[in-house]
Structure 1
Amino acid sequence: MTTQDAQEKSINMVELVHELAELLREAKDDEAKRLLTRYPKLVGYTDDSGRSTIHFAAVGGSLPLLQFAILNDPEMAHKTDDLGWTPLMIASSAGRVDVVRYLLTLPDVDVKHTNSNKQTSLHYACSKNHVEIVKLLIEADPNIINLPDKFGATALHRAASRGNDVIVRALVSTGKCSLDRQDGEGNTALHLACDENRGDVAILLVNRGADMKMLNKEKQTPLEMLKDPELRQKLLNLKK
C-alpha cells in the first residue's frame, strides 16, 4: 500500500466529497483544486446521490475543474448521477454557459440524453429561462425540441408556461417545433400560455399557426383557459 493509499484509507472520503462539492458550489476553485491535488482519487468518488467532481463543477460553473476531471477520466464527460443527470444537464439547468459550450464540443456528449423523468437538458434550460443555453442546445441538435418528458411535455410546453417569448421564438424558428403537440393532460403550448396569461407568447404562437380550437382532456380550448378578456379578444382578432 502506498503512502497516498494509506492516507486516503485513514480519512473519511465521503466527508471530503461533501467538502469538495461545497467548495465548487461556492466557486472556490483554488481551494477545490488543492483538495484534489492532495487526494487525486477524490475525482472519482461520489456522494450519496451518485454525484462526483464533474457534477459539482458543472453546478458551480467551474470549467477548469470540470476539464481536470475529464482529463483524469474522459468517461466523466457523460457520467450520470443516480437520477440520470449528466454534467451537460446540470450545467444547462444551472445556467453555466461556458461549461455547456465546452461540453458540446466533446464527441461522446449526448444532447438528447434523458434523466429518470425523461427530461433533457433543453427542458431545464427552457424552464430556467437560460436563453443562450437554449440556443446552444438546439444548434447542437434541433431534433431535441420535440422530445417529451414523462408528463408528455416538450421544451415548447416549458417555455410557453414560463412566458419566455425569446425562447419560444428560438424554438419555433427552427422549423422543427410541433406547435400543437399535447402533453399528458392534453394541453398544447398555447393552452399553457393562456392558462398562465402569457400574452406575448400566446400571440406569438397563434401568429405561427397554433390551433386555438384544440381540446385538452378537460374539453377546454386554449381560449377557455384565459382569465384575461382583453387578451382573448386580441387572439380572436388575429384570426379575422
Structure 2
Amino acid sequence: MDSNQKFALHEAAREGRNQVVESLLNANPKSAFVTDDDERLPIHWAAANNRLPVVELLVASKGFDPDVADGSGWTPLMIAASLKDAAGEAIIDLLLRKGADVSMKSNTGQNALHFASSKSNISIVRTLIANKCSARVKDKRGQLPLHRAAAVGSVPILKMLLEEGKSPVNATDGDGYTALHQAIAEGHGPAAILLLKSGADPLKRDNDDKLAIELVPDDKVMPSHMLGWFELTIFVIHTQVKQFILQTAEREGIELP
C-alpha cells in the first residue's frame, strides 16, 4: 500500500472533504487512529485546518480520545487554540463537550492558554479560563501565558490572565524576564502600562541585570545620522515607546527607576 492510500483519511481530513472522510471511516473505522509520517492522526489535521464538519465526524468515532497528542505533544485542543483570529473556537467548544482536558501540556510544557495567548485569541482565552485552564503553568522556558500575551501586546488578554486567571504578575522566565520585560522588549507600551498598574515591579532585573525599561533604546544609543531608513524607523518607534511608558506612568502615579 502506498503512502497516499495508507493516509487517505489524513489527506481528506486536511482538505475538508467531508464525504470522503465519512466513506473512509465507514470502510475502516480504525483508520481514524492511524499515525502518519508527521506523527499526527486525522483529527490533528482536521483541527489544524479548521475543518469543523470533519472534526464532528472524527469525534463520533468509537474510542475517540479528545486528548490524543501528536509527535510534539499537541492535542487537538491546543491546535485549535493556536489558529489565527480565533478561527478554532467552534472546534474548541466541541472538544470541550467531548471532555477534552484543558490541563494537558505539550512536549515544551505549554498548555492551550499559551497557544491562545500567543495568537491574541481573546475569546478562546476567555473560554479556556472559564473551563479551568490554568494561567499559572510555566512552560519549559519558564514562561507563563502572561509572558506570551505580553510579547504580542494584548491588553485584553493580559487583563483576563491577571484578573480571572490569577496569574502572578512578577513571575520570571528562564532569562529572568517578567511579563513587563517582555512587553517593553517587544515595544508594547499600553501592555507595559497595564502590567505596571497591575503591580508589575519595575525594579526587577533579568539575568543580564537589566531593568525592563532598559530594554527599550534611549536617545543615546546611536546618532540618527548613522542610521539607515529602516534602523531609523525602528529607533524612532522604540524611543516613542519609552517616552509613552515614562509619561503615562508619571500621569498614573507609577514610580519608575
Q: Give the TM-score taking structure 2 as reference length.
A: 0.81
Counterpart for residue 103 of structure 1: 95
Q: Could you tell me which residue of structure 1 aligns to residue 80 of structure 2? A: 91
User: 1:71, CA displacement in angstroms?
Assistant: 2.3
Work out the CA distance in 1 between the residues paired with 2:73 and 2:148.
20
Q: Which residue in the other structure is 2:59 paired with?
A: 70
| Residue range with higher mean Cα deviation, 26-35 or 149-158 | 26-35
Letter in 1 for 2:190: D
Deviates more, 1:68-77 or 1:88-97: 68-77
Corresponding residue of 1:4: none
Distance 2:175 2:207 in 1: 6
Distance 1:183 1:17 in 2: 43
Structure-2 residue corresponding to 1:133:
124
Per the alignment, do residues 17 and 90 of structure 1 end up closer, same or farther by CA in structure 2, a change over 3 Å counting? farther
Q: Give 1:218 deviation, angstroms.
A: 0.7
Once the two structures are superposed, the pairs formed by residues 176-187 of structure 1 within 5 Å of their partners are 176-187=166-177
Structure 1 residue 235, shift from structure 2 partner:
4.8
The 5 A counterparts of 1:1-240 are 11-12=1-2, 14-16=3-5, 18-94=7-83, 95-107=87-99, 109-142=100-133, 144-174=134-164, 176-227=166-217, 228=239, 229-237=242-250, 238=252, 239=254
User: 2:94 is matched by which residue type in structure 1?
Assistant: Y
Q: Secondary structure at the match of 1:146?
A: coil
Change (3 A) 1:155 1:226: same
Going from structure 1 to structure 2, the CA distance change for 1:161 and 1:215 (only over 3 Å counts) comes to same
Change (3 A) 1:119 1:138: same
- Calculate the aligned-residue CA RMSD, in Å: 2.0
Structure-2 residue corresponding to 1:3: none
Amino acid at match of 2:97: T
State whether residues 25 and 56 of structure 1, in contact with CA within 8 Å, keep that contact through their aligned partners in structure 2.
yes
**Gap change, CA 1:31 and 1:100, over 3 Å in 2:** same
- What residue ranges of structure 1 are gaps of 5+ in the alignment? 1-10
Q: What TM-score comes out, normalization by structure 1 length?
A: 0.86
Query: Which deviates more, 68-77 or 154-163?
Result: 68-77
Q: Give the counterpart letter for 1:231 in structure 2.
A: F
Cα deviations by residue, 1:74-101 (Å, 9 ceiling, x for unpaired)? 4421111122111111111124110101
Deviation at 1:39, TM superposition (A): 4.0
Alignment coverage as a number of residue pairs:
227
**In 1, are the aligned partners of 2:16 and 2:54 still within 8 Å (CA)?**
no
Question: Runs ≥4 in structure 1, deviation > 4 angstroms?
Answer: none
Partner Cα separation in structure 2 for residue 89 and residue 81 of structure 1: 11
C-alpha displacement of 1:36: 3.2
Change (3 A) 1:131 1:59: same
- Give the SS at the match of 1:192: helix
Classify the secondary structure of the residue corresponding to 2:66.
Answer: helix
1:54–1:76 CA contact under 8 A, matched in 2: no
Distance 2:6 2:196 in 1: 50
